[in-house]
Structures are given as structure tokens and as C-alpha cells.
């Protein structure tokens, strides 16, 4: 009797552990609602001279209206606290199957202008700050 009880408690705990492991990261491959940037902007890439350390600060703390990690997650996997409630879900930057279609210029364009019909608002950042955060994301999460 006691054994059965211990066993069922263990089963419940392991189910819980499995489901909470899945609750974080967004799907991969991930459907994309965001539209393509104009070709000339999509091909632009100014990350060579950008400052990834400043990008990290923006991503995790100082970006306006809100730190990117609130939705995209500290691990860049789309698992941020606020992101869970959003449909479509925030981009999972760690998902290479989806990110191979997303260029640095595409990211710049969406961060600057927002993505209509999604929770991705245009950010109040200077062009330099946007390239900094694009560099941080691409060098840290995108494989
Ligand atoms: C309120 C939640 C939220 C915040 C805060 C947020 N995002 Fe997003 N982001 C989203 C959602 C939702 C999408 C759209 C996903 C889709 O296209 O299906 C998105 C899309 C994007 C894309 C589009 C990539 C593509 O597929 O073309 C980029 C790049 C991006 N976000 C970067 C950022 C950066 C950088 C910040 C911080 C400066 C930020 N986001 C803050 C929710 C958020």
C-alpha cells in the first residue's frame, strides 16, 4: 500500500517535471506571422561594428517600451513570462530552422517598425542601439 503511494507520488512529480520543461521554450520550427522587410533593408547588415555588450543590456534591461527578455526570454527561446500569453508566440531566436530565414536586416526592420498583428511593438531605440541588440541576439542565441 505504502509502496503504491510512493510510486504514484513519483509518477506525478515526473509528469510535472516534464510538462514544466516544455512550458518554457517556444515551438521549433515556429510559424512566422511577421512580414518580410523590403529587400534593400533585409540585405543590410551593420552588426560588424556593433556593440554586443550594449545589446545585452538593452535585451535584458533597458530597452523601451520593454526589455526584450520579457517576451523572447533570457535564453532567447521565446519563453519569456509575458510571451506565454501571446499569439503568435514571440520569435524563438534559438530555433535555427526558423532563424535561417531571418537576416540581420530583417530583424533591424522589425525592431524599428514593429510587426503588425503581433505583440511585437516598434521599439524606442536609436539605429545604433538596434544594431547592438541584433548583434547580441545573433551572436548569443542564433546557431
Ligand atoms: C510584448 C512582447 C515582446 C517584446 C517586449 C519584444 N518582442 Fe519581439 N516579437 C514578439 C512577437 C509576438 C513577435 C512576432 C512573432 C511572429 O512573427 O510570429 C516578435 C518578433 C520579433 C522579431 C521578428 C523576427 C522575424 O521573424 O522577422 C524580432 C527580430 C524581434 N521580435 C526582436 C525583439 C527585440 C530586439 C526586442 C527588444 C528590444 C523585442 N523583440 C521585444 C514579442 C515581443
CATH number for the domain harbouring residue 45: 1.10.760.10
Q: Which residues line ligand 1 (CB under 6 A)?
A: 32-34, 63, 66, 68, 70-72, 82-83, 86, 88, 90-91, 102, 106-107, 110-111, 115, 118-120, 123, 133
Residue 15 in this model has a pLDDT that exceeds 60:
no
- The parent domain of residue 92 ranges over 24-140
> Is the residue at 18 inside a domain?
no
Q: Say whether pLDDT at 7 is over 80.
A: no
pLDDT (tens digit per residue) in 68-125: 999 999 999 999 999 999 999 999 999 999 999 999 999 999 999 999 999 999 999 9
Instruction: Please give the C-alpha separations between residue 1 and each of 6, 9, 14, 118, in angstroms, as whole numbers.
Output: 9, 13, 20, 53
* Best probe residue, ligand 1, of 83, 105, 115 (max atoms within 8 Å of C-beta): 115
Instruction: Give yes or no for residue 18 having a pLDDT over 50.
Output: no
Matching residue, cell 505504502: 2
Distances in Å between the alpha carbon of 10 and those of 15, 25, 130?
Answer: 9, 25, 47
Mean pLDDT on 25-34: 94
Residue 14 lies in a domain: no
Q: Give the chain's mean pLDDT.
A: 90
In this prediction, residue 19 carries a pLDDT of 42
- Please tell me the predicted confidence (pLDDT) of residue 122: 96
Which of residues 17 and 113 earns the better pLDDT score? 113
Cα 22 from Cα 41, distance rounded (Å)? 35
Domain assignment of residue 94, yes or no:
yes
Give the pLDDT of residue 12: 54
User: Would you state the pLDDT for residue 25?
Assistant: 87
The residue among 111, 138, 110, 135 whose CA lies nearest residue 49 is 135
- Closest-CA residue, ligand 1 atom 28, reads 107
* Cα–Cα distance, 51 to 131 (Å, whole number): 8
- The domain tally of the chain equals 1
Mean pLDDT of 25-38: 95
- Domain contains 4: no
pLDDT, position 3: 74
Given a contact cutoff of 8 angstroms between Cβ atoms, the answer to whether 95 and 114 are in contact is: no
- Main-chain dihedrals φ then ψ at residue 108, nearest 5 degrees: -55, -50
Residue 90 CA, distance from chain mean position = 6
Q: How far apart are CA 36 and CA 20, in angstroms?
A: 33
Residue 8: C-alpha distances to residues 5, 17, 60 (Å): 5, 14, 40
User: How far, in Å, CA of 78 to CA of 141, rounded?
Assistant: 11
Residue 21: its pLDDT value, please?
A: 45
- Residue 13 included in any domain: no
Amino acid at each position: 500500500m505504502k509502496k503504491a503511494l510512493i510510486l504514484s507520488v513519483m509518477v506525478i512529480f515526473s509528469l510535472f517535471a516534464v510538462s514544466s520543461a516544455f512550458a518554457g521554450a517556444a515551438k521549433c520550427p515556429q510559424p512566422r506571422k511577421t512580414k518580410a522587410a523590403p529587400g534593400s533593408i533585409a540585405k543590410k547588415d551593420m552588426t560588424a561594428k556593433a556593440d554586443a555588450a550594449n545589446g545585452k543590456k538593452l535585451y535584458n534591461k533597458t530597452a523601451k517600451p520593454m526589455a526584450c527578455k520579457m517576451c523572447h526570454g533570457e535564453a532567447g527561446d521565446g519563453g519569456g513570462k509575458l510571451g506565454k500569453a501571446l499569439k503568435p508566440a514571440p520569435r524563438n531566436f534559438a530555433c535555427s530552422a526558423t532563424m535561417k530565414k531571418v537576416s540581420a536586416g530583417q530583424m533591424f526592420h522589425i525592431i524599428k517598425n514593429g510587426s503588425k498583428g503581433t505583440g511585437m511593438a516598434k521599439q524606442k531605440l536609436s539605429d545604433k542601439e538596434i544594431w547592438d541588440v541584433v548583434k547580441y541576439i545573433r551572436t548569443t542565441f542564433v546557431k
